[in-house]
Amino acid sequence: MAEASLKRTPLHGLHLRLGARMVPFAGYEMPVQYPDGIIKEHLHTRAAAGLFDVSHMGQITLRPRSGAIADAGRALETLVPADVLGLAEGRQRYALFTNAAGGILDDLMVSHLGDHLRLVVNAACKAADEAHLRKHLSQSCSVEPLTDHALIALQGPRAEAALAPLAPAIRSMRFMDVRAVSLMDEPCVISRSGYTGEDGFEISIAADRAEALCDILLRNENVRPAGLGARDSLRLEAGLCLYGSDLDAQTTPLEAALEWAIAKARRRGGERAGGFPGAELILGQIEHGALRRRVGLKPEGRAPVRGGASLFASEDAAALIGTVTSGGFGVSLGAPIAMGYVPVAQALPGQRLFAELRGRREAVGVCELPFVPLHYKRG
Amino acid sequence: MLKFTADHEWLRLDGEVATVGITDFAQDKLGDLVFVELPKVGAKFAKGAAAATVESVKAASDVYAPLSGEVTEVNAKVAADPALVNKAATGEGWLFKMRLANPAEADGLLDEQAYKALID
């Protein structure tokens, strides 16, 4: 794609001012790193707080035409296997758009904001997601993309202390809470969630106020800007999936080890069993199992094994048994880490497999996810 | 005097032995290096063949043999501490030395001025 056609987020000017290296990502010109570099940005997020521009992601309001929020929940449940009707006001939940073959069209967050639902979807999928929602839900809901809003992620153990002076109310939020909060006299929607494995917040704010908010947050010495590079290395350590790499339309929730995202109420025997695309296949897999499964992989050597690498059962086996879908360097671990799909018989922790790397085979061990402890504020 | 390739390697000639590394421009573009894979001493490479690999957090990049020759020494320090390449790409962060098959070929590489013009 020509650079001229790339879109910019409301924080583009801030990125340039901070000396970011800008790269094309999902049709946007985004900061991959700042002068600190990915390693420092990653470690700072784990130790203090990283500030990420995630405004490229899609924010979509789903408003029930009847005025009854349950109608929006019921409507969305026809597209996702989550328990949306059971989502309490002020809470957020992870969900998956599935297709008729049981594959994953996108992964998303759903928030209950009283009279409407708010979805946050992947940047690369947002046009398709919006069309999908309109096609299937327009009768019962209005589908409104929030194009005039930035989305800012503040992640890390010092995130609460950095944000609280602007909005003391956020101190009482716990993991996956969502609240309408005023920041700098500007109405915002804040969730206590993120994509790093750390405690933190995602702040939806009017585009024209986003840079001012970032400037205030960055005045705190514990807050440093972090780019997409650190975002990717942080999420990989936290064992979180990247749509398009670890998840796609040919991958089912059970294969992806995301069965926790299939609510009990939507499973066989549940109050509202099925009723989402691919339900038959997805619920059948939950009862009978799938052939392959997403696992963590730790290379025994120091060489990173990247997404796309082929996996084999032994050093000389001819048959391909699986593929690495995400891989790189676990900055906090100081060692390479990866995720990939392998046959269930080989998906057990401790299983030794081999990844093809530059014409040779490197030993990798199957391991539990995540690679680092998660620090969500659940209490 | 340093010579350069369009693939962002540098080469320092001492008789018929050349020390090879990646340029400061290249290390800056790659970002923090986390892994360096060096060739074996004694390995022979044709000009332009992949001789080493440098990996940042995000990606792996090949380092090509700037000229044909045989590897005589590798820098164990950068294998142990890849960040050394970021700190001193054209100094302590050198990657390997090779005995050139034909040292006169070095005349065909870029000089510093030509390389600077290339990256500007």
What number is the average pLDDT over the span A49-73? Answer: 98
pLDDT digits (tens, 9 = 90+) for A254-313: 999 999 999 999 999 999 999 999 999 999 999 999 999 999 999 999 999 999 999 999
What number is the average pLDDT over the span A103-113? Answer: 98
The number of folded domains in chain B is: 1
Q: Give residue A379's pLDDT.
A: 78
Q: Locate B37 and state its tokens.
A: 């894979």
Residue A25's pLDDT band (boundaries 50, 70, 90)?
A: very high
Q: Is residue B65 part of a domain?
A: yes
Query: Could you tell me the residue ranges of all domains in chain A?
Result: 3-55+148-237, 291-370
Distance from CA of A33 to the nearest CA of B (A): 9
Contact A38 B56 (CB under 8 A): yes
Of the options 3.30.559.10, 3.40.30.10, 3.30.1360.120, 3.40.50.970, the CATH number for the domain spanning A3-55+148-237: 3.30.1360.120
Q: Give residue A1's pLDDT.
A: 45
Q: Give residue A3's pLDDT.
A: 56
Contact B57 A306 (CB under 8 A): no
* Any B CB within 8 A of A42 CB: yes
Domain with B38, as residue range(s), is 2-100
The per-residue pLDDT of chain A, averaged, comes to 97
Distance from CA of B104 to the nearest CA of A (A): 31
Q: Locate B17 and state its tokens.
A: 């032995």
Is the separation of the CB atoms in A310 and A356 below 8 Å? yes
Q: How far is CA A258 from the centre of its chain?
A: 13
The pTM assigned to this predicted structure is: 0.96
Contact B60 A38 (CB under 8 A): no
- Walk along chain B (120 residues) and give the pLDDT tens digit of each residue: 899 999 999 999 999 999 999 999 999 999 999 999 999 999 999 999 999 999 999 899 999 999 999 999 999 999 999 999 999 999 999 999 999 999 999 999 999 999 999 998
DSSP string, A15-64: HHHTTPEEEEETTEEEEEE-TT-HHHHHHHHHHSEEEEE-TTSEEEEEEE
* Any A CB within 8 A of B41 CB: no
What number is the average pLDDT over the span A121-138? Answer: 98
Rounded Cα–Cα distance for residues B115 and B120 (Å) = 9
Chain A residues 331-350 with a CB less than 8 Å from chain B: 331, 336
What number is the average pLDDT over the span A63-69? Answer: 98
Q: Which of A302, A303, A328 lies closest to B58 in CB terms? A: A328
What number is the average pLDDT over the span A45-67? Answer: 98
What number is the average pLDDT over the span A310-322? Answer: 97
Q: Is residue B35 part of a domain?
A: yes
From chain B, the residues in CB contact with A331 under 8 A are 34, 57
Contact B31 A304 (CB under 8 A): no
Q: Is residue B110 part of a domain?
A: no
Q: Give residue A132's pLDDT.
A: 98
Cα A84–Cα A87–Cα A91 angle in degrees, nearest 5 = 125
Which of A104-108, A232-236, A259-263, B56-60 is predicted with the least confidence, judged by mean pLDDT?
A: B56-60
Residues in chain A: 379
Residue of A29, A282, A321, A37 lying closest to B87 (CA atoms)? A37
Q: Is residue A184 over pLDDT 90? A: yes
Q: Which of A21, A232, A304 lies closest to B34 in CB terms? A: A304
pLDDT digits (tens, 9 = 90+) for A329-352: 999 999 999 999 999 999 999 999
* Any A CB within 8 A of B35 CB: yes
A314 Cβ neighbours under 8 A, 6+ residues apart: A354
Q: Is residue B64 part of a domain?
A: yes
Q: Is residue B108 part of a domain?
A: no
* Any A CB within 8 A of B59 CB: yes
Handedness of CA A234, A237, A242, A245 (dihedral sign): positive
Q: Is residue A2 over pLDDT 60? A: no
Q: Is residue B8 part of a domain?
A: yes
Is the separation of the CB atoms in A166 and A159 below 8 Å? no
**Structure ipTM:** 0.91
Rounded Cα–Cα distance for residues B74 and B77 (Å) = 9
Of the options 2.40.50.500, 1.10.1750.10, 1.10.3720.10, 2.40.30.110, the CATH number for the domain spanning A291-370: 2.40.30.110
Q: Is residue B112 part of a domain?
A: no
Q: Which of A33, A304, A358 lies closest to B31 in CB terms? A: A33
